[in-house]
Structure formats: structure tokens, C-alpha cells
């Protein structure tokens, strides 16, 4: 069986050393030594400041909304945030869960990210923020989105769950927006088993969020924020430090697998258009097929060969009833969701595996 993805497990001896230290210190959570160390190393590696580690990527989004005032309720009107329907459910459900109504606008049919051209028409007096997604690690048109937000005094929170290590014009993509959030789920390019991070533009937002992730506690006898428990623990940080030590190997493996897919598939299937000036991190290998019938045949053929391809993202979120949204019409997102799948890519997958996967796909497409 070839799964669509597989968690990367780093050197066991090094992980054991970190765990030995945890046992010696008997400090398991509450901003321990390893969390502090991972924070600094990630800031250095990613080229960012004001990074806050949290317990998962969904809470990263929710804390960002709270810290930036997006989810502050008013008696007069429910706040709204403009976002993309072509994303993982957590992008929108985290808004809804926090009392913010997601408003979906359509995607660029080639880049697959939120189209800036569709944002302006969705802005209302209730709009508090824009929540774009760097889909599959492909950078959004950050400059145009940031200009729209500035012109309308809106916050921008980038869901950068897939965009670990991506650069734009030589600088970290995570520097754009008022905040950018990362997911460190087990199957991500970089992971801490579960976990996430927020990168804030402003130091004062970081300091507010630090209190929020620890129940709003500002001191032994002082509570200043409405908070929640979103702290990363020492065991998560230990895994992250080990994975970060081997991140160049992980990136190299994925890059080589991507190159093998590209060589084998050639022009067959639609691939994502990457934003000019942005790098790729090869976290996923998505392919859009001609239509839903062709996609179904590809998935079935792969399954018969014990290969798993995943429909990702499906369904397009404007069709999800529990989100209770009135979209402005998202035909591009819906069409893409009906015909796209991610092919297997992870460290440990061999080039021979990729050739076999590509051959199976090509048999359907010929």
C-alpha cells in the first residue's frame, strides 16, 4: 500500500536525548525550555519575528482572530471575514466557531488561491478581515490583497498551513498580513505531531496572544484577557526540534519526487500556476483532471494498484450547510474541487514508486 502521505519520523536517538532532558527537568508545559528553543530556531530558520507556538493549527487561526480583534462581537452585527471556499474546513469552521461569518469569494482558476479581483465586491460594513490561504503552499497575490485590506482598514490573516519555508521575492512569505498561521500536524512538511504557530506583524499583538493561549493569565494573581489553553508542550517541541534538524533532507526528498512526477506526467493533467517571485516547498503534489469522471477513473485505477490519492479539497466549502454562508458564487472553486486530487508525496517514497504512480495515471489519461 502506498498512502497519499506519511508522517516523517526523525532520528530516534536524538529524540530520546530531548525526552531524557524533559524527565530531568520535570517541566512538561507552560513555556518550557524546548518550546523556547524551538521558537527561536524557527524564527531564525524562517526569517521572521514575533512567532508564537500553539498546540495546533486550528487554534492558531482562532487566536489570531482574537488577538487582532476580528472576532470581537458587537450587539449590532455579526462580524464577517472574506475567505476562500477552496481550502481545508478548518479555515472556515474556525471563523464560524469564533462567531465570525465566513463569506466565500471565488478562486483564481490557475493559481487556485483566493482571487483579489473578487474580494472588493464582498466587502460590507460588517467585514473585519480577509483570510486568504496559500493553497498547497502556493503564495497568494499578497501585494494586491494587502493593498485592498489597507484601503478598507481590514485585517489580513493568511492561513499559511501549507507554506512552511516558502519565500516571496527573497523574503519569508509569512511576513505578509497582520498575521500568518502555520499547522504542524503530523503529515505536514515540518511537524510537531500536532501543533502550530502564529507569526504576527506587530509585537503588541504577539504579547496579547501570549496571554490568550494561557487562559488570559498575565501573572500569578492577574487575568487580563479572555483566554483559552492553546499552549504547545515540551514533547511536541522535542519532536519539532528533531524534525527541524533534518528539514533539508525532507525538502530535498520532496523536491526530487516532484521533479520525477513532472518528468513522467509531462503536460498531462493541470498543475497549479505558481506566483511569480515565489518559491515552492513541494509539500503536496496536486493534479486537476479534465472532469469528475476522469478523476474517478484515476482514483479507482490507483486504488486497484494499492495506491491512495486524496480528493483535496472537497467539497468546495460554499456548499457545506453548517457554515450557513451566502456565497457570491464560486463556480471556479466548485469546478476545481470536482476534478482534483493529491498524489502521494512524502519522505520515504521512492522515485520508482513515483514512476509507477505516474504510469498508472497515464494509462487512464491516454
Q: Which residues contact 18 (CB under 8 A, 6 or more apart)?
A: 34, 238, 241, 242
The gap between the terminal CA atoms of the chain, to the nearest Å, is 25
**C-alpha atoms less than 13 angstroms from C-alpha of 365 in its C-beta half-sphere:** 22
pLDDT of residue 283: 97
At 166-175, the pLDDT tens digits run: 999 999 999 9
Smallest Cα–Cα separation from 139: which of 109, 113, 107, 164?
113
Residue 217 φ/ψ, nearest 5 degrees: -75, 125
Q: What one-character DSSP code corresponds to residue 259?
A: H
Would you kindly state where each structural domain of the chain is located, as residue ranges? Answer: 12-244, 247-365
All three cell numbers of 167? 519565500
Report the top-level CATH class of 12-244: alpha beta
CA 255 vs CA 111, 140, 200: distances in Å: 19, 21, 29
Mean pLDDT confidence for 213-232? 91
The H-assigned helical ranges of 266-341 are 292-304, 331-337
Residue 8 φ/ψ, nearest 5 degrees: -85, 125
At 27-44, the pLDDT tens digits run: 999 999 999 999 999 999
The DSSP-derived string for 83-148 is E-SSS-HHHHHHHHHTT-EEEE-PBPTTT-SBPGGGTGGG--TTEEEEE-B-GGGPPP-HHHHHHH
pLDDT of residue 328: 64
All three cell numbers of 262? 513532472
Cα-atom radius of gyration of the chain, to the nearest Å? 21
CA 313 vs CA 91, 147, 290, 330: distances in Å: 12, 28, 16, 14
Q: What one-character DSSP code corresponds to residue 310?
A: B
CA 142 to chain centre: 15
Smallest Cα–Cα separation from 279: which of 297, 300, 255, 296?
255
Q: Please provide the CATH number assigned to the domain covering 247-365.
A: 3.90.1150.10
Dihedral over alpha carbons 261, 159, 175, 68 (to 10 degrees): 180
Q: Which residues contact 254 (CB under 8 A, 6 or more apart)?
A: 189, 281, 282, 283, 345, 346, 347
At 120-174, the pLDDT tens digits run: 999 999 999 999 999 999 999 999 999 999 999 999 999 999 999 999 999 999 9
At 52-98, the pLDDT tens digits run: 999 999 999 999 999 999 987 565 678 999 999 999 999 999 999 99
pLDDT of residue 220: 84
pLDDT of residue 285: 98
CA 245 to chain centre: 21
Mean pLDDT confidence for 196-211? 98
3-class DSSP state of 142 = helix
- pLDDT above 90: residue 327: no
Amino acid at each position: 500500500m502506498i498512502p497519499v502521505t506519511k508522517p516523517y519520523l526523525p532520528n530516534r536517538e536524538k529524540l530520546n536525548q530531548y525526552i531524557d532532558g524533559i524527565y530531568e527537568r520535570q517541566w512538561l508545559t507552560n513555556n518550557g525550555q524546548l518550546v523556547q528553543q524551538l521558537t527561536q530556531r524557527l524564527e531564525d530558520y524562517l526569517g521572521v519575528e514575533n512567532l508564537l507556538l500553539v498546540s495546533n493549527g486550528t487554534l492558531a487561526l482562532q487566536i489570531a482572530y482574537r488577538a487582532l480583534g476580528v472576532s470581537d462581537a458587537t450587539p449590532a452585527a455579526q462580524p464577517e471575514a472574506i475567505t476562500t471556499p477552496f481550502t481545508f474546513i478548518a479555515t472556515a469552521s474556525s471563523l464560524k466557531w469564533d462567531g465570525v461569518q465566513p463569506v466565500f469569494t471565488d478562486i483564481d482558476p490557475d493559481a487556485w488561491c483566493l482571487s483579489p479581483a473578487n474580494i472588493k465586491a464582498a466587502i460590507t460594513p460588517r467585514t473585519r478581515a480577509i483570510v486568504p490561504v496559500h493553497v498547497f503552499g502556493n503564495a497568494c497575490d499578497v501585494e494586491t490583497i494587502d493593498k485592498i485590506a489597507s484601503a478598507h482598514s481590514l485585517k489580513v490573516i493568511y492561513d499559511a498551513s501549507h507554506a512552511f519555508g516558502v519565500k516571496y521575492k527573497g523574503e519569508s512569505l509569512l511576513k505578509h498580513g497582520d498575521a500568518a498561521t502555520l499547522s504542524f500536524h503530523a503529515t505536514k512538511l515540518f511537524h510537531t505531531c500536532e501543533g502550530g504557530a502564529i507569526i504576527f506583524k506587530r509585537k503588541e499583538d504577539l504579547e496579547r496572544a501570549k496571554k490568550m493561549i494561557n487562559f488570559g493569565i498575565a501573572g500569578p494573581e492577574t487575568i487580563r484577557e479572555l483566554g483559552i489553553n492553546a499552549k504547545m508542550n515540551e514533547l511536541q517541541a522535542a519532536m519539532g526540534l528533531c524534525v527541524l534538524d533534518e528539514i533539508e533532507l525532507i525538502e530535498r526528498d520532496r523536491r526530487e519526487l516532484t521533479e520525477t512526477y513532472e518528468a513522467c506526467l509531462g503536460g498531462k493533467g493541470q498543475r497549479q500556476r505558481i506566483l511569480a517571485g515565489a518559491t515552492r516547498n513541494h509539500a503536496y503534489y496536486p493534479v486537476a483532471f479534465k472532469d469528475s469522471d476522469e478523476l474517478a477513473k484515476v482514483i479507482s485505477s490507483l486504488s486497484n494498484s494499492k495506491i491512495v490519492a486524496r480528493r483535496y479539497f472537497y467539497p468546495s466549502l460554499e456548499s457545506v450547510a453548517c457554515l450557513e454562508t451566502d456565497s457570491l458564487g464560486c463556480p471556479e472553486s466548485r469546478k476545481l474541487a470536482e476534478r482534483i486530487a493529491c498524489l502521494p508525496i512524502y519522505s520515504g517514497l521512492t522515485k520508482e514508486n513515483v514512476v509507477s504512480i505516474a504510469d498508472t495515471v497515464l494509462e487512464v489519461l491516454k
